[in-house]
């Protein structure tokens, strides 16, 4: 979602600093190493920070057209995010994209193990009653691509800056949703 359907605006270094977490280490993994009481307090702070960021979210160029075309073609659409589910909804609302996604198809860290674990992709496949061979994971970061690989689905790396840092994890690399749409349709 963030950086794929929406413009990337998260400053993870600033978030880690504000939460007092180690620099350069993924936030959720840092929280998992803390005593539960301390981790819960920081999770509450993280939720508040992410909700403020969600309110400023804007759609990636072409996101509405891309999702509309997919929906019209009969594709099942899902979100797999390391955010909380409420934050994902707030982000989609801010971008005007929430109506494309059934509530059960927004899978967050509240539902299962977060990316890069493939559990969220597998959960969506089960809810759609489909197979990995018929699905694609589109993402802008390594964790997205790893989650797709871990669930044995095809992966698309969307890098608006053209820096395709993980070609070994990507079946397709694109710079925009418009470019991806042209490859599909």
Q: Which domain holds residue 61?
A: 1-185
Residue 81 tokens, joined: 């995010």
**Residue where the block lists tokens 């955010």:** 83
pLDDT computed for residue 185 by the predictor: 83
pTM exceeds cut of 0.75: yes
Parts of the chain with a pLDDT under 50? none
Residue 133 tokens, joined: 């061979």
49 to 4, 82, 181: CA distances (angstroms)? 20, 14, 33
Report strand pairing: 154-158 vs 172-174.
Answer: parallel
User: Domain total for the chain?
Assistant: 1
Residue 152 tokens, joined: 């044995």
Q: CATH code at 122?
A: 3.40.50.1000
């Amino acid at each position: 979602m963030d950086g794929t359907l929406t413009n990337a605006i998260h400053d993870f270094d600033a978030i880690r600093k504000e939460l007092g977490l180690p620099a350069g280490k993924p936030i959720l993994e840092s929280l998992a190493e803390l005593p539960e009481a301390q981790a819960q307090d920081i999770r509450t702070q993280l939720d508040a920070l992410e909700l403020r960021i969600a309110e400023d979210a804007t759609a990636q160029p072409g996101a509405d057209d891309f999702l509309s075309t997919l929906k019209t073609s009969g594709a099942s659409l899902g979100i797999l995010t390391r955010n909380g589910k409420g934050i994902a909804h707030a982000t989609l609302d801010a971008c005007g994209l929430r109506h494309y996604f059934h509530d059960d198809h927004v899978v967050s860290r509240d539902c299962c193990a977060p990316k890069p674990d493939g559990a969220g992709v597998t959960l969506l496949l089960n809810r759609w009653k489909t197979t990995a061979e018929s699905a694609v994971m589109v993402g802008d970061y390594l964790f997205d691509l790893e989650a797709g690989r871990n669930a044995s689905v095809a992966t698309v790396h969307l890098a608006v800056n053209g820096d395709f840092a993980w070609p070994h994890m990507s079946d397709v690399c694109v710079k925009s949703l418009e470019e991806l749409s042209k490859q599909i349709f």
